[in-house]
């Protein structure tokens, strides 16, 4: 008790109207020596200051005597996150909940975290810390391995969970299922159409193939969701809906255009065109970043949907080429 009081000596004296000079502080409150009998504290100074100091000491002692200690088991690997850089997180929690938090030293092998303070404050702090630990541990959802890539949508679905619900996803170290790949990405195994001087021919030229979505993957892959409990529930609903949608997407179309410069017409300004095609066809569409390598535009959906998406993509290319040929009016 005396040790705790000593650490708060300056605040007690200054709040009572005393000096914060080290020598003045030493004279204002004098603690008994370690080998002395009793625990009497001597207070010196102006009478009004002394009375306030004694009042604050009594209040401090009364508060400490009414404190409780709650014990919380926290895995050692979670201790660092409760401490934070330079103890910043721990100090923030102590200030927020008006408690003292005792976290075992690293390497001690102990898992017991102690929370000390008034009953109501300790209860709030304990609930908050438990939620933090649970959030870090995450909640696991099992996703069929055969549908993993259809749901993940080249990572776009994970980014959406992060932006919409502040939920991150990992797979607990499990290997990612192999991504289905077409055995042939060009119609009838033919060569990729060449760029010609005929704009109309270029607009219509393409290589297109459709493969049925089949996978040899069996079992499930864990998706570990990390975030607040409320947001995790929202993310789980989004995942369930995406799985149901993926079950209906039984075909993947691969479309290659001969002129890499025309891919921009598929994307549109700020992705507006490709987003419109996605909505109209009900398909997931991925346009490769480096079209110069002859990579295909990937269209995932129903058999009818991918065919519709292909026609919409080719129409966008034709419109883009035609609009680029319209001469601009000269500026005055």
255: Cβ contacts below 8 Å, ≥ 6 apart: 206, 207, 208, 296, 297, 299, 310, 313
Q: Using an 8 Å Cβ cutoff, are 265 and 199 in contact? A: no
What pLDDT score was predicted for residue 103? 94
What pLDDT score was predicted for residue 201? 53
Residues 186 and 260 grouped into a single domain: yes
3-class state of residue 32 by DSSP: coil
In a domain, 132, yes or no: yes
Among 121, 137, 153, which residue terminates a domain?
137
What pLDDT score was predicted for residue 328? 55
Residues 298 and 150 grouped into a single domain: yes
What pLDDT score was predicted for residue 195? 41
What pLDDT score was predicted for residue 188? 37
In a domain, 11, yes or no: yes
In a domain, 87, yes or no: yes
pTM value is 0.49
What pLDDT score was predicted for residue 76? 84
Residues 165 and 307 grouped into a single domain: yes
Residues 105 and 25 grouped into a single domain: no
Residues 103 and 115 grouped into a single domain: yes
Q: Which of 108, 39, 38, 122 is nearest to 79 (CA)?
A: 108
Among 65, 85, 115, which residue terminates a domain?
65
Phi, psi of 148 (to 5 degrees): -55, -50
Q: Using an 8 Å Cβ cutoff, are 256 and 294 in contact? A: yes
Instruction: Give start and end residues of each alpha helix (H) in the chain.
Output: 2-7, 9-15, 22-28, 47-65, 76-83, 88-97, 119-137, 148-152, 156-165, 199-204, 229-248, 263-267, 272-281, 303-325
Among 48, 65, 82, which residue terminates a domain?
65
Residues 145 and 28 grouped into a single domain: no
Task: Compute the distance between CA of residue 206 and CA of residue 117 in angstroms, rounded to an integer.
Answer: 72
Residues 131 and 57 grouped into a single domain: no
Residues 61 and 49 grouped into a single domain: yes
Task: Compute the distance between CA of residue 270 and CA of residue 319 in angstroms, rounded to an integer.
Answer: 17
Identify the CATH number of the domain in which residue 120 sits.
3.30.1370.10
Residues 235 and 283 grouped into a single domain: yes
Residues 126 and 146 grouped into a single domain: no
Task: Compute the distance between CA of residue 78 and CA of residue 97 in angstroms, rounded to an integer.
Answer: 20
Residues 199 and 269 grouped into a single domain: yes
In a domain, 331, yes or no: no
In a domain, 330, yes or no: no
Task: Compute the distance between CA of residue 242 and CA of residue 30 in angstroms, rounded to an integer.
Answer: 70
Structure tokens at 177: 């299922």
Per-residue pLDDT of the chain (332 residues; tens, 9 = 90+): 545 555 577 788 888 888 878 787 777 878 777 666 667 888 888 888 888 888 888 887 777 778 899 999 988 878 988 998 889 999 999 999 999 999 998 888 899 999 999 999 999 999 999 888 877 778 899 999 999 988 998 898 999 999 999 899 999 888 998 876 554 444 434 444 444 445 555 556 788 989 887 778 889 999 999 888 889 999 999 999 999 988 888 888 999 988 878 889 999 999 999 999 999 999 989 888 765 566 889 998 999 999 999 999 999 999 998 887 766 555 55
In a domain, 176, yes or no: yes
In a domain, 206, yes or no: yes
The number of domains in the chain is: 3
The range of the structural domain enclosing residue 109 comes to 68-137
Residues 249 and 161 grouped into a single domain: yes
In a domain, 219, yes or no: yes
Q: Which DSSP string do the residues of 33-63 spell out, in sequence order?
A: PTTSSS---EE-S-HHHHHHHHHHHHHHHHH
What pLDDT score was predicted for residue 204? 60
């Amino acid at each position: 008790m005396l040790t705790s009081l000593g650490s708060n000596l300056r605040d007690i004296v200054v709040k009572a109207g005393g000096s914060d000079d080290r020598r003045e502080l030493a004279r204002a409150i004098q603690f008994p020596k370690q080998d002395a009998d009793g625990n009497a504290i001597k207070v010196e100074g102006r009478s009004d200051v002394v009375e306030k100091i004694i009042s604050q000491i009594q209040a401090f002692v009364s508060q400490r005597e009414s404190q409780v200690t709650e014990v919380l088991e926290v895995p050692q690997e979670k201790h660092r996150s409760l401490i934070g850089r330079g103890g910043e997180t721990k100090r923030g929690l102590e200030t927020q909940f008006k408690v003292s938090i005792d976290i075992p030293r690293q390497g001690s092998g102990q898992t017991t975290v102690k929370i000390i303070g008034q009953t109501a404050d300790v209860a709030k702090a304990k609930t908050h810390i438990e939620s933090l630990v649970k959030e870090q541990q995450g909640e696991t959802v099992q996703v069929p391995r055969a549908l993993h890539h259809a749901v993940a949508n080249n990572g776009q679905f994970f980014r959406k969970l992060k932006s919409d619900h502040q939920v991150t996803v990992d797979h607990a170290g499990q290997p990612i299922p192999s991504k289905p790949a077409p055995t042939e990405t060009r119609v009838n195994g033919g060569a990729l159409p060449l760029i010609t001087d005929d704009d109309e021919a270029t607009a219509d030229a393409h290589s297109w193939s459709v493969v049925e979505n089949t996978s040899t993957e069996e079992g499930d892959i864990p998706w570990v969701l990390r975030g607040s409990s409320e947001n995790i529930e929202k993310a789980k609903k989004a995942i369930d809906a995406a799985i149901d949608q993926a079950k209906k997407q039984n075909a993947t179309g691969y479309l290659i255009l001969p002129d890499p410069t025309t891919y921009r017409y598929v994307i549109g300004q700020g992705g507006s065109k490709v987003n419109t095609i996605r909505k109209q066809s009900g398909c997931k569409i991925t346009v490769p970043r480096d079209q110069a390598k002859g990579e295909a535009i990937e269209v995932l959906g129903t058999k009818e949907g991918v065919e519709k998406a292909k026609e919409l993509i080719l129409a966008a290319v034709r419109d883009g080429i035609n609009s680029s040929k319209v001469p601009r009016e000269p500026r005055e």
